[in-house]
C-alpha cells in the first residue's frame, strides 16, 4: 500500500514542453459520499489558509455558485477556481487559477473511489501552460501532499508520507 499517500515524481521539462501532472492520493476512512462532502462542504474547516490562501489567517474558503472563492475578514474575495464538473460522490473538476491569471487556468481533478476501509481520494493537477509560464505554475502549486494531509486528518485518516 505504498501509494495510499503519494505524489508523482517531480519532472519539469526543459524547453517549451508543459510539466507532467502532479498526482496526490490519500485514504480516508469514510465512504465516498462523506469524503466528497468533507472535501467540498467542509473545505473551510481543513484548508490551510495561512500557508495556502490568498488572504491568510481569518479568511474562509468555500464553494458558491460553481466557484471556489476565498473571502477575507474585511470582505475582499479571491476566486480560486471555476467548477467544470461536479459529480457527487465520485468526482470534481476545477479550472484552477489561485495565484495565477484567469486567462491561463490549470486543471484540478479529484476522484473519490470506494476501497476497502474507506475512500481513495486522488487529486491530479494538470493542464500547465507550456514553457516558462508552465514551469512557474508547476513550481507554485507543489503543496498538494501537505494540503491533502490536512484533509485526511480532518476526515479521521492516518497521515503517512511515503
- Domain of 51, in residue numbers: 6-154
* Domain presence at residue 129: yes
Instruction: Look at the chain and report how many structural domains it folds into.
Output: 1
> Rounded to the nearest 5°, which phi and psi values hold at 97?
-140, 10
74 DSSP assignment: T
The three cell numbers locating residue 92: 470534481
CA gap 105, 98 in Å, rounded: 8
User: Which of 6-15, 32-41, 95-104 is predicted most confidently?
Assistant: 32-41
User: Is the separation of the CB atoms in 64 and 77 below 8 Å?
Assistant: no
* Domain presence at residue 160: no
Question: pLDDT digit string (tens) for 36-51?
Answer: 999 999 999 999 999 9
3-class DSSP assignment, residue 67: strand
What is the model's pTM? 0.87
* Domain presence at residue 102: yes
Mean pLDDT, rounded, of the chain: 89
Domain of residue 109, CATH code: 3.30.530.20
Amino acid at each position: 500500500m505504498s501509494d495510499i499517500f503519494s505524489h508523482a515524481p517531480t519532472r519539469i521539462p526543459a524547453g517549451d514542453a508543459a510539466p507532467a501532472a502532479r498526482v496526490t492520493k490519500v485514504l480516508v476512512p469514510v465512504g465516498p459520499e462523506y469524503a466528497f462532502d468533507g472535501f467540498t462542504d467542509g473545505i473551510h474547516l481543513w484548508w490551510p489558509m495561512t500557508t495556502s490562501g490568498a488572504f491568510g489567517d481569518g479568511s474562509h474558503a468555500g464553494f458558491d455558485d460553481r466557484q471556489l472563492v476565498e473571502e477575507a475578514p474585511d470582505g475582499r474575495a479571491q476566486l480560486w477556481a471555476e467548477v467544470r464538473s461536479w459529480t457527487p460522490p465520485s468526482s470534481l473538476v476545477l479550472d484552477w487559477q489561485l495565484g495565477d491569471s484567469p486567462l491561463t487556468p490549470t486543471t484540478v481533478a479529484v476522484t473519490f473511489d470506494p476501497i476497502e476501509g474507506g475512500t481513495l481520494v486522488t487529486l491530479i493537477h494538470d493542464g500547465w501552460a507550456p514553457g516558462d509560464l508552465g514551469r512557474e505554475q508547476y513550481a507554485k502549486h507543489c503543496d498538494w501532499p501537505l494540503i491533502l494531509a490536512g484533509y485526511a486528518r480532518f476526515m479521521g485518516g492516518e497521515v503517512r508520507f511515503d
